[in-house]
Amino acid sequence: MARTEQTARASLGDREGLLGTLMIAPAFVYIAALVGIPFFLAIALSMSSATIGDPSIHGFVGLSNFVHAIHESAFPLALRNSIIVTFGTLILTLVLATAESELLVHDFRGKWLLQILLILPWAMPVSLASVDWLWLLDSEFSPVDWLLRQMHLLGPGTVWGPANHLYFYGKEWLGLGAVTVINVWRLLPLATIIVLAGRTAISHEIFEQAQVDGAGFFRTLFRITIPALLPLLVVAGMFTALIVFGDMAVVALTTRGGPGYATQLLPYWAYLKGIEGGALAEGAAVALFMFPILLAGAILALRMAYRAESN
Amino acid sequence: MATLELRGLKKKYGGIYAVNGIDIAIKEGEFLAILGPSGCGKSTTMRMIAGLEQPSAGEVLIGGKPVTHLPPRERNVSMVFQSYALYPHMTVTENILFPLKARDVPKAERETKLKWAAGMLGIEPLLQRKPARLSGGEKQKVALARALVRDPALFIFDEPLSSLDAQVRTMARSELRLLHDRTGVTTVYVTHDQIEALGMGDRIAIMQRGQVRQLGTPKELYDNPADTFVAGFLGSPPMNLLERGGRIVGFRPEHLLPALPETAANDAFALQVRVQRLEFLGADWLIYGQLEGGGQEEKILSKVSPSVAGTLREGELREFRVARAHLRLFDPATGLRVDDGPH
């Protein structure tokens, strides 16, 4: 009797609906706790009068934090700089990642060494990397300055003279350029790995066919390789753009947004305002400015990737 | 359209010769099939003709001009790969026009050529499609149109039918040969399928271990194989090869027939065969037999008509005969043919 009862009852493993819900629950809790709640908290914060001294979100002030932020002189600069740095990094990264994947897809002597060198920036701790870059572009001891002086491009009586130093982190465009270059250096390995995965998946016969059909290097690159890589270029581009647009580490460790607000970026400005300046609510408002842009960018990129893939 | 000549062509990969000295001259408009088992060097030979591989030694001449060190685009050869290698993100039209654009052919001429090639292969309704939406047979036609569109000196086909379904393949074979006859472009056709080589080639080059074992018309190769490799490779099933009196005796299964009791074995090679299995092949029957009387166990195959197969029983011992005119003799040491062969 007991045996028949046992076999008749369905175990948990047989109840697929319940089992599925149970198994997906941890992921749901995790996303809600670490993404959902902070996000709605940030929205609530941005519409309150909270400060570091009084971090309660009870004082509802509507959109006045946003209006106030827009009218600050730093806002248009930070927005402009964020867009410039993001697009600059995006374009340079995609061009270089395509070039690198084209190089790495072929076999040659010493390829392993090149692969290690190309992947190294990814494995390097941010603190160590920032020391490197602070020294490379230092106002007094920059080896880049030294190299330019040796080439007679910098110093008294030369094109970029008469000063002996470029002061990378002290000038608007050099500062933005430096931030862009460091971002490219940092994100190129990831983009290269993504693009290379796509490049190795393209059948070798396609390229041989193009060779026999009479296509030269550039025709093959622009008519065969890049269109075939497009879905992965979009993915790599999206990763790059989202990381750069939301990043404050590079600018915080180099120019610190200066001189004035000349190289200020939105995320760093939000941090300075909200945490350093104590205006929690305004900081949250500035940070949220980026959200619609990031969301629109992500949706657009995913749609492009999907369309390119389905073709 | 042009002649093709290979002189002492060799290709070495890491100390091993994949192709070891090939000399072939192909006439203008000829259809040459290169046939061989996988790893025989036929693909490497083809790639050296196309310019995708540099030979270690030897010369390639197209239309009498040495092209050995020219890149593929300077050789004016068209190639159809096994996978068809259609450009996946381009429409059929863009695929066909690609080689013309790469050669800066004027737009008006491009349009004329496109119409001509598409008409030749009957693919006009497919022109706006992407390759992903084509069947295997349609892809093959698009690849052919793309190869045809620029008046190549030479066509190179790399097993172009092997990815088609069996039913489509027979039709495709005859269509491909008809296309060759209409356009008259000199063709090199690489395959491991002897039916394709026998059925389509004006001549066949049979390759093994980087060398051409025999070059001749399909009938020459089938009737008079130059060595035991060709004898044992060509034909389905291939020649029976038996060692008799210091010679290898070869004969085709369709020439080995059960002896009729009333006839005398006057001018025939007779064998006592234990019939082991009768296999129905449709039009023919295949007889699996074992020779009796010899020291070692020798298997033998015979291919007979249904009426003859009706007289045989599995397990019985019967005398089989081959007319002497159908015997081919080979040297056991070298594998080479030793009789002149009846002509």
The verdict on a CB contact (< 8 Å) between B102 and A209 is no
Residue that wins the pLDDT comparison between B342 and A256: A256
Cα separation, B41 vs B6, whole angstroms: 14
The tokens of B123 are what?
A: 């693919």
Q: Are A258 and A111 in contact (CB under 8 A)?
A: no
The answer to whether B73 contacts A212, with C-beta atoms less than 8 Å apart, is: yes
Are A311 and B89 inside 8 Å of each other by CB?
yes
As to burial, measured by CB atoms within 10 angstroms (0-12 exposed, 13-18 middle, 19+ buried), residue B302 is buried
B51: which chain A residues are within 8 Å (Cβ-Cβ)? Answer: 211-212
Q: Which long-range contacts (CB under 8 A, 24 or more apart) does A214-218 make?
A: A214/B72, A214/B73, A214/B99, A214/B102, A214/B103, A214/B150, A215/B73, A215/B98, A215/B102, A216/B73, A216/B102
Residue type, B94: E
Report the relative pairing of strands B57-62 and B4-13 from DSSP bridges.
Answer: antiparallel
Tell me the whole-structure pTM to 2 decimals: 0.77
- Residue B207's SS3 state is strand
Contacts of A219 in chain B (CB under 8 A): 101-102
Chain B contact set for A211 (CB, 8 A): 51-52, 71-73
Closest by CA position to B281, among listed B254, B252, B303, B314: B303
Quick check: B87 and A205 CB within 8 A? no
Q: Which residues from chain B sit within 8 angstroms of residue A223, using beta carbons?
A: 87, 98
Q: State whether B146 and A208 contact (CB < 8 Å).
A: no
Which residue is it, tokens 């002497």? B324
A55 close to B (CB below 8 A): no
Q: Is B44 on the interface with A (CB under 8 A)?
A: no
Q: Which residues of A touch B99 (CB under 8 A)?
A: 213-214
In the prediction, which pLDDT does A172 show?
72
pLDDT digits (tens, 9 = 90+) for B55-66: 999 999 999 899
Instruction: Judge whether residue B186 has pLDDT over 90.
Output: yes
Q: What is the CA radius of gyration of chain B?
A: 24
CB pairs A-B closer than 8 Å: 64
- Residue A227 sits at the chain B interface (C-beta within 8 Å): yes
Q: Is A212 in contact with B102 (Cβ distance < 8 A)?
A: no
Using DSSP's 3-state secondary structure scheme, residue B238 falls into coil
Contact (CB<8Å) A213/B83: no
Characterize the bridge pairing of strands B31-35 and B187-191. Answer: parallel
Digit-coded pLDDT (tens) for B75-96: 889 999 988 999 988 999 999 9
Q: Is there a contact between B73 and A311 if contact means CB atoms under 8 Å apart?
A: no
Whether B271 and chain A come into contact, CB under 8 Å, resolves to: no
The pLDDT of residue A1 is 47
**How far apart (Å, rounded) are the C-alpha atoms in residues B302 and B258?**
9
Q: Is the pLDDT of residue B212 over 90?
A: yes
Nearest-CA neighbor of B233 among B257, B252, B256? B252
The answer to whether the Cβ–Cβ distance between A211 and B81 falls below 8 Å is no
Burial of A40 (0-12, 13-18, 19+ CB in 10 A): exposed
Q: Which residues contact A182 (CB under 8 A, 6 or more apart)?
A: A129, A133, A250, A254
Does the beta carbon of B46 lie under 8 angstroms from any beta carbon of chain A? no
pLDDT at B342: 45
Edge-to-edge strand ranges of the sheet holding B65-66: B16-26, B4-13, B57-62, B65-66
Q: Which residues of B touch A224 (CB under 8 A)?
A: 87
A228 touches chain B (CB under 8 A): yes
Non-local (6+) Cβ contacts of B290 within 8 A are B273, B274, B276, B297, B298, B299, B300
Nearest residue on chain B to A205, alpha-carbon basis: B85
Orientation angle between helical segments B107-121 and B166-183, nearest 10 degrees: 130
- Mean pLDDT score of chain B: 88
Strand partners, B212: B207
**Could you report the predicted ipTM of this complex, rounded to two decimals?**
0.81
Contact B85 A228 (CB under 8 A): no
Which residues on A lie below 8 Å from B81 (Cβ)?
A: 205, 208-209
As given in the structure block, the two tokens for residue A107 are: 């076999």
| Length reported for chain A | 311
Q: Say whether pLDDT at B97 is over 90.
A: yes
Question: Residue A9: what pLDDT?
Answer: 66
Residue from B89, B93, B142 whose CB has the most chain A CBs within 10 Å, to mutate: B89
Collect all residues of chain A within an 8 Å Cβ-Cβ radius of residue B88. 206, 228
Distance separating alpha carbons of residues A171 and B19, to the nearest angstrom: 64
**Residues of chain B contacting residue A228, judged by C-beta atoms under 8 Å apart:** 88-89
Cα–Cα distance, A125 to A186 (Å, whole number)? 10
Candidates A209, A219, A228; nearest CB to B85: A209
pLDDT of res. B343: 39
Check if the beta carbon of residue A160 is closer than 8 Å to that of residue A148: yes
Q: What pLDDT band is residue B154 in, cutting at 50, 70 and 90?
A: very high
Distance from CA of B79 to the nearest CA of A (A): 7
- Residue A65, amino acid: N
pLDDT at B250 over 80: yes
Average pLDDT over residues B121-146: 90
Task: Sort B53 into a burial class: Cβ within 10 Å, 0-12 / 13-18 / 19+.
Answer: middle
Tens digits of per-residue pLDDT, A86-96?
Answer: 999 999 999 99
Distance CA B208, CA B138 (A): 33
Average pLDDT of span B267-272:
84
The rounded average pLDDT for each run of 10 residues, N- to C-terminus, in chain A (311 residues) is 56 81 91 88 81 72 77 82 90 92 87 86 80 77 76 71 69 80 88 89 90 89 89 85 83 76 81 77 80 82 74 57
Residue-wise pLDDT for A169-211, tens only, equals: 667 777 788 888 888 888 888 889 889 988 888 888 899 999 9
CB contact under 8 Å between B102 and A208, yes or no, is no
* pLDDT for B294: 64
Q: Which of A208, A209, A226 would best serve as a mutation to test chain B binding (most B beta carbons within 10 A)?
A: A209
Asked if the Cβ–Cβ distance from A212 to B71 is below 8 Å, we say no
Measured CA to CA, the distance from residue B2 to residue B185 in angstroms comes to 8
Note whether B81 contacts A223, CB cutoff 8 Å. Answer: no
User: 3-state SS string over chain A?
Assistant: CHHHHHHHCCCHHHCHHHHHHHHHHHHHHHHHHHHHHHHHHHHHHHCECCCCCCCCCCCECCCHHHHHHHCCCHHHHHHHHHHHHHHHHHHHHHHHHHHHHHHHCCCCCCHHHHHHHHHHHHHCCHHHHHHHHHHHCCCCCCHHHHHHHHCCCCCCCCCCCCCCCCCHHHCHHHHHHHHHHHHHHHHHHHHHHHHHHHHHHCCHHHHHHHHHCCCCHHHHHHHHHHHHHHHHHHHHHHHHHHHHHHCCHHHHHCCCCCCCCCCCCHHHHHHHHHHHCCCHHHHHHHHHHHHHHHHHHHHHHHHHHHHHHHC
